[in-house]
A and B are shown apart, each in its own frame.
Chain A
Amino acid sequence: MIDVIIAIAVIGVALYGIATSKNIIKTIICFNILQAAVILLFIVIAGTTGYDIPILTSENLVPVDPLPQALMITAIVISASVTALSLMFFVKIFHYYGTSNWETLISKDESQ
């Protein structure tokens, strides 16, 4: 029970960081934390269905459901590529506007 509560709390803190941070790098890191917390929520809920890892070495085991785990490996790989893409856009934006602050960026964009 405490795992589910803490995973949801981490999701809330990461959403707060996305909404309030002025640094672009920090926003991207908060997106990654949000994704890791969602994966933790899936893994924790799938972990309550059994008592052993889903590798059948003998017949007496009660393994957990392996389907959410397989989905979450895909989610990790997708998040890595999304991070690489957003960092590439960050470098482009930095060389064009010369700043990594959201507020300076938005005021610069409106003045043109």
Chain B
Amino acid sequence: MIKTFFLVLLLFITLSIVLQKNNKILVVLYSGFSLIAASLYFFNHAPDVALAEIAVGSAFMPLIFLIAISKQTTFTVMQQGHFHMEVKDFLYDFCQIENLKLKIVQSEDVFNDEAKGIYGVFRRQDIDVILNYHPKMQHYILTCKQSNVMTNKLLEMSLKYPSIKVVRTKDIDTMD
């Protein structure tokens, strides 16, 4: 009787995962799916498999899924030299519109002795934008990857600001 109940629950939770659109709810539902599957293994005389499924499926898997989802929502900017309020407001507005979390890192922290050039930064540190200041022309330069979807949105938004220029780089140099 209780076995049939768990079987029907398994089918329903699978349907709810297929119909769900929010990533975080998906991970929690998958954790519940693993627990129900583990109890079904136990009812079918396989307690060792149930133990492995509980340890891997409902503890380890949601952890790595949550790490991957948190990587998805951060927008990393590497700054070089001066950093004034105007461009900071611009970046905050962009992240507000696109639902991203802004993370600013200093170039001194990124460049250690193994860094050879500016293009290697994209490959090693997963940086989305490099920000620096051109003193003679008096505008800020945002260097982005051409392949990235965010670059076009950033370019459209920067047309309103005369002191901000968006530069797109080729991607061939950044690929391994």
Using a CB–CB distance below 8 Å, which chain A residues touch chain B?
Answer: 2-3, 6, 9-10, 13-14, 16-17, 21, 23, 25-26, 28-30, 32-33, 36-37, 39-40, 43-44, 46-47, 50-54, 63-64, 69, 72-73, 76-77, 79-80, 83-84, 87, 90-91, 94-100, 104, 108, 112
What is the bound-complex CA distance between A54 and B45, given in angstroms?
8
* A43-B46, A69-B49 known; A96-B148 Cβ under 8 A: yes
Interface of B is mostly: helix
Nearest A residue to B149, CB-CB? A98
Instruction: Report whether A91 and B150 are in contact in the complex, using a CB–CB cutoff of 8 Å.
Output: no
Interface: B95 (CB within 8 A): no
Instruction: Report whether A16 and B18 are in contact in the complex, using a CB–CB cutoff of 8 Å.
Output: yes
Instruction: Report whether B18 and A72 are in contact in the complex, using a CB–CB cutoff of 8 Å.
Output: no
Residues of A within 8 A of B45 (CB): 47, 50-54, 63-64
Residues of B within 8 A of A28 (CB): 65
Interface of A is mostly: helix
Nearest B residue to A17, CB-CB? B18
Nearest A residue to B176, CB-CB? A92
Nearest B residue to A29, CB-CB? B30
Interface: B60 (CB within 8 A): yes
Residues of A within 8 A of B126 (CB): 91, 95
Tell me, rounded to whole Å, the shortest Cβ–Cβ distance linking B62 to chain A. 10
Instruction: Report whether B17 and A100 are in contact in the complex, using a CB–CB cutoff of 8 Å.
Output: no
User: Interface size bucket, B side?
Assistant: 35 or more
Instruction: Report whether A33 and B49 are in contact in the complex, using a CB–CB cutoff of 8 Å.
Output: no
A29, A54, A108 pick with most chain B CB within 10 angstroms: A29
Report 23 cross-chain contacts, Cβ distance below 8 Å, ordered by A residue: A2-B7, A14-B14, A14-B18, A21-B18, A28-B65, A29-B26, A29-B65, A32-B30, A33-B14, A33-B17, A36-B53, A37-B14, A39-B37, A40-B40, A46-B46, A50-B45, A69-B49, A80-B60, A91-B72, A94-B72, A96-B175, A97-B147, A98-B147
Instruction: Report whether B14 and A73 are in contact in the complex, using a CB–CB cutoff of 8 Å.
Output: no
Interface: B138 (CB within 8 A): no
Residues of B within 8 A of A9 (CB): 11
Instruction: Report whether B30 and A33 are in contact in the complex, using a CB–CB cutoff of 8 Å.
Output: yes
Residues of B within 8 A of A3 (CB): 3, 7, 40, 44
Tell me, rounded to whole Å, the shortest Cβ–Cβ distance linking B145 to chain A. 7
Tell me, rounded to whole Å, the shortest Cβ–Cβ distance linking A38 to chain B. 11
From A33, A63, A77, contact of B52 by CB (8 A): A77
